[in-house]
Amino acid sequence: MSREQNRVSTGVAGLDEVLDSGLVPNRTYMIRGEPGAGKSILGMHFLTAGIENGENALYVNLEEPTEEIEQNAKSLGIDVSDVDFLDLSPDSEFFVENLSYDIFAPDEVEDESLTSRISEQVQDVDPDRIFVDPITQLRYLSPDEYQFRKEVLSFMQFLKEQGATVLFTSQDTPSAPDDDLQFMSDGIVHLQRAEQGRIISVPKFRGSSIKDGRHSLRISEGGITVYPKLLPEMHDKEFANESVSSGVPELDKLLNGGLERGTVTIISGSPGVGKTTTGVQFMKEAAGRGERSVVYSFEEAKNTLVHRCESINMPVSEMSEKGTLSIQEVEALQLSATEFAHRVREEVEENDTRIVMIDGVEGYRLALRDQDEDIINELHSLCRYLKNMGVTVILMNEMQTIVGEFQLTQEGLSYLSDNIVFIQHIEMESEMRKVIGVLKKRTSDFERHVREFRITEYGLQIGEPLLGLTGILSGNPTWVDLEDRGTAQRQGSERQGGLNRRSPFGTPHTHTPESRRDGWNSE
Grouping H, G, I as helix, E, B as strand and the rest as coil, residue 159 is helix
Catalogue the E-assigned strands of 477-520. Answer: 478-479
Is residue 99 located within the same domain as residue 185?
A: yes
DSSP reduced 3-state for 365: helix
Q: Which amino acid is at 253?
A: K
Quick one: 211 and 297 in the same domain?
A: no
DSSP string, 286-327: HHHTT--EEEEESSS-HHHHHHHHHHTT--HHHHHHHTSEEE
- Domain containing 54 — which CATH number? 3.40.50.300
Q: Which of 267, 274, 277 is nearest to 422 (CA)?
A: 267
Could you give the CA distance from residue 335 to residue 370 in angstroms, rounded to a whole number?
Answer: 9
C-alpha atoms less than 13 angstroms from C-alpha of 58 in its C-beta half-sphere: 26
Q: What is the pLDDT of residue 404?
A: 52
How many residues are recorded in the chain?
A: 523
Last residue in a domain, options 467, 485, 500:
467
Closest CA to 358 of 436, 426, 280, 411: 280
Q: How far apart are CA 293 and CA 348, in angstroms?
A: 10
Cross-strand partners of 459? 456
Q: Beta strand 469-470 with 259-260: parallel, antiparallel or unpaired?
A: unpaired
CA-based nearest residue to 11, from 76, 63, 106 = 76
Whole-angstrom distance, CA of residue 426 vs CA of residue 401: 11
Does residue 500 lie within any of the structural domains? Answer: no
DSSP 340-351: HHHHHHHHHHHH
- In the chain, DSSP finds a helix count (H) and a strand count (E) of 15, 22
Q: How many domains does the chain have?
A: 2
Same domain, 112 and 35: yes
453/407 same-domain check? yes
- Assess if residue 497 is contained within a domain: no
HEC letters along 10-49: CCCHHHHHHCCCCECCCCEEEEEECCCCCHHHHHHHHHHH
Of 195, 228, 261, the domain-final residue: 228
Averaged pLDDT, groups of 10, the chain, 523 residues long: 74 95 94 92 97 96 92 95 90 49 42 68 92 84 76 83 91 72 90 86 93 92 94 92 95 96 94 93 95 94 94 93 95 87 96 95 81 79 96 89 52 79 84 90 91 93 86 74 54 46 38 36 34
Say if CB 295 and CB 357 are below 8 A apart: yes
Q: What local confidence, expressed as pLDDT, does residue 113 receive?
A: 63
What's residue 496's pLDDT? 44
Shared-domain flag, residues 174 and 298:
no
pLDDT of 392 reads 97
For residues 83 and 197, state if they share a domain. Answer: yes
Q: Looking at the structure, do residues 417 and 302 belong to the same domain, yes or no?
A: yes
User: Is 478 a member of any domain?
Assistant: no
Query: Do 204 and 249 belong together in one domain?
Result: no
Residue 234 lies in a domain: no
In this structure, the answer to whether residues 273 and 179 fall within a common structural domain is: no
Predicted local distance difference test score (pLDDT) of residue 479: 76
- Looking at the fold, whether 399 and 463 belong to one and the same domain comes out as yes
pLDDT of 503 = 40
The reply to whether 489 falls in a domain is no
Examine residue 495 and state whether it is found in any structural domain, yes or no: no
Q: Look at residues 201, 228, 255 and tell me which one is the last residue of a structural domain.
A: 228
Largest pairwise CA distance in the chain: 112
- What are 244's strand-pairing partners? 259
In one-letter notation, the amino acid at residue 117 is R
Of 285, 284, 320, 287, the residue nearest 302 (C-alpha): 320
Structure confidence at residue 69 (pLDDT): 95
Task: Give phi and psi for 74, each to the nearest 5.
Answer: -65, -40
CB 46 within 8 A of CB 11: yes
Q: What range defines the domain where residue 17 resides?
A: 4-228
SS3 398: strand
CA 217 – CA 154 distance, rounded (Å):
33
pLDDT for the residue numbered 517 = 36
Q: What are the strands, taking DSSP E only, across 399-522?
A: 419-428, 431-441, 451-456, 459-465, 469-470, 478-479
In this structure, is the dihedral angle defined by the CA atoms of residues 269, 273, 277 and 282, taken in order, positive or negative?
Answer: negative
Q: Do 320 and 346 have their domain in common?
A: yes
From residue 252, give the alpha-carbon distance in Å to each of 243, 246, 286, 471, 506.
9, 6, 14, 24, 17
Whether residue 487 lies inside any domain: the answer is no
What is this structure's pTM? Answer: 0.80
279 and 367 together in one domain: yes
**What is the rounded CA–CA span in Å between residue 466 and residue 5?**
65
| Residue 502 maps to a domain | no
64, 106 in Cβ contact below 8 A? no
